[in-house]
Amino acid sequence: MSVQALAIEQEMGPESGSETLEVCGGAMLMRMGSAAFSGWAALPVGEVSVQALAAPDLPNMVGAAPRFLAMLEQVRRIAGAIAPVLIEGETGSGKELAARAIHYLSARRDQPFVPLNCGAIPDNLVESELFGHVRGAFTDAKQARFGVVTQANGGTLFLDEVDSLSLKAQVALLRFLQDHRYRPVGHDRDQVSDARIIAASNRSLKELVGRGEFRGDLLYRLDILSLRIPPLRERAEDIETLARHYIARFCEQYNLARKSLHPATLHWMKAHHWPGNVRELENLMHRFVLLADGREIVFSSSDVDGGTPTELRSLGHAPGDGLSYPAFHSAKALAIAEFEHRYLVHLLEETSGNVSAAARLAGKERRSLGKLLKKYDIGTQQFRS
């Protein structure tokens, strides 16, 4: 991975005031005290609508689940210190987002935030990527280059996938963490960098130490402050809120009419295990927004892919894929929701949107049918000729 390819943010100016959490009008309001998180994020309690403002190049920290809010409180506390931080969490749970929040809520917010994916660095280039090199230090060193440690001086160096570093690379990082002194490859003098280190891993470093795959002394240097990012399945209350947030964002991005979630889709989302966490949810909503034919995101039972009905695919598993099958009540709820929605649409088409006539045809009370139409957000105007 080339140092020149690193996304280094140096122009994120501070926002007056510090981060605060308030409860106002039944909503949790999160104020992020920097330009990177400028504005208010309204997280309604007991509702699903979300209004979130942030810098265009940063995802929003959206959620109201207790574990998510507890994590945000930890972020606020950690931001006030300068010690190294170890962030652990599953793939796609938001580790880099948390690292950016720590940086932009800290006194270092005006200085660079430098991310480095340790898993993308060849072992023979680790020291050059970290500490830089002088011209002629090795065969391809045609010009001098600063390492990420130098670029992050005064700011934050985010080491993602730190668990992927080889034992040789871990030694080099350990040396720097001991006294913040380093020597560029080919240079004859030590230099000093005041970069705060935030490391992240999707595997338990303690378990890797036990297996001899990660140095215990490096773990102790990194794990001064620790932050665990809860997986999406542990903050299930936020699934619908996040989904609607991403739908709104992508509809605006592509200048599309606002789309809504079909109840069957919500049933699937709440039953799904989300192995890819928030990133999986974001990508899913991105795809659905672009591919949905109408204004509703819905799984169609007539849609067949490779012989597997959508109902089974949407529950996260195909027959014979070796994964645990969905719970009976989840599959049943999904099927019922799809049937009710389809039945109501056909009923209104048959009666040209006349609710009284539809109720008589269905053998239901008008009031009862009206509640069902409201449940599935089905208007009658579109069916009237």
Which CATH number covers residue 366? Answer: 1.10.8.60
Instruction: Find the range with the poorest average confidence among 8-17, 189-198, 223-232, 252-261.
Output: 8-17
Q: Is 125 found in the same domain as 38?
A: yes
DSSP string, 100-116: HHHHHTSTTTTS-EEEE
Q: Residue 184: its pLDDT value, please?
A: 85
Averaged pLDDT, 55-83 = 81
Q: Is 79 found in the same domain as 34?
A: yes
Reading the block at residue 48, the tokens are: 């699903």
Q: Is 197 found in the same domain as 82?
A: yes
Contact by Cβ (8 Å): 197, 116:
no
Instruction: Find the range with the poorest average confidence among 151-155, 189-193, 228-232, 289-293.
Output: 289-293
Averaged pLDDT, 233-238 = 93
More confident residue, 5 or 381: 381
Q: Is 343 found in the same domain as 284?
A: yes
Q: Is 295 found in the same domain as 376?
A: yes
Give per-residue pLDDT as tens, 126-142: 888 899 877 765 667 67
Q: Is 181 found in the same domain as 238?
A: no
Give per-residue pLDDT as tens, 269-325: 888 888 889 998 998 888 888 887 778 887 543 332 333 334 434 444 444 444 344
Mean pLDDT over each residue of the chain, to the nearest integer? 76
Sign of the alpha-carbon torsion through 132, 135, 137, 139: positive
Q: Residue 170: its pLDDT value, please?
A: 95
The residues pairing with 28 across neighbouring beta strands, listed in sequence order, are: 23, 43
Q: Give the structural domain span for 123.
A: 3-228
More confident residue, 294 or 164: 164
Q: Is 107 found in the same domain as 59?
A: yes
- Cβ burial, residue 225 (10 Å; 0-12/13-18/19+): middle
More confident residue, 94 or 375: 94
Q: What is the CATH number of the domain that holds 188?
A: 3.40.50.300
Contact by Cβ (8 Å): 65, 235:
yes
Q: Is 215 found in the same domain as 347?
A: no
Helix (H) or strand (E) holding 28: strand 27-31
Q: Residue 366: its pLDDT value, please?
A: 86
Please say which residue of 193, 209, 228 terminates a domain.
Answer: 228
Question: Quick one: CA torsion of 107, 113, 119, 124, rounded to 10 degrees?
Answer: -100
Kindly tell me if the per-residue pLDDT of 50 is higher than 50. Answer: no
- Give, as one character, the DSSP assignment of residue 274: -
Distance in angstroms (rounded) separating the CA atoms of residues 101 and 268: 31
Please say which residue of 170, 199, 228 terminates a domain.
Answer: 228
Tell the residue number behind the tokens 């006294």, with chain if given: 179
Q: Is 330 found in the same domain as 188?
A: no
Kindly tell me if the per-residue pLDDT of 178 is higher than 70. Answer: yes
Please say which residue of 197, 228, 259 terminates a domain.
Answer: 228
Distance in angstroms (rounded) separating the CA atoms of residues 239 and 232: 7
Kindly tell me if the per-residue pLDDT of 15 is higher than 80. Answer: no
Q: Is 259 found in the same domain as 154?
A: no
More confident residue, 340 or 278: 278
More confident residue, 108 or 60: 108
Q: Is 130 found in the same domain as 103?
A: yes
Total structural domains within the chain: 2
Distance in angstroms (rounded) separating the CA atoms of residues 324 and 317: 8
Instruction: Find the range with the poorest average confidence among 116-120, 147-151, 329-333, 364-368.
Output: 329-333
Q: Residue 334: its pLDDT value, please?
A: 67
Contact by Cβ (8 Å): 380, 374:
no
Determine if the pTM surpasses 0.85. Answer: no
Q: Residue 279: its pLDDT value, please?
A: 92
Averaged pLDDT, 76-86 = 95
Q: Is 107 found in the same domain as 254?
A: no
Q: Residue 81: its pLDDT value, please?
A: 95
- Residue 80: pLDDT band (50, 70, 90) is very high
Averaged pLDDT, 26-36 = 34
Q: Residue 89: its pLDDT value, please?
A: 96
Averaged pLDDT, 353-374 = 88
Nearest CA to 160 among 245, 222, 249?
Answer: 222
Q: Residue 141: its pLDDT value, please?
A: 64
Q: Residue 47: its pLDDT value, please?
A: 34
Distance in angstroms (rounded) separating the CA atoms of residues 237 and 218: 36
Q: Residue 55: its pLDDT value, please?
A: 29
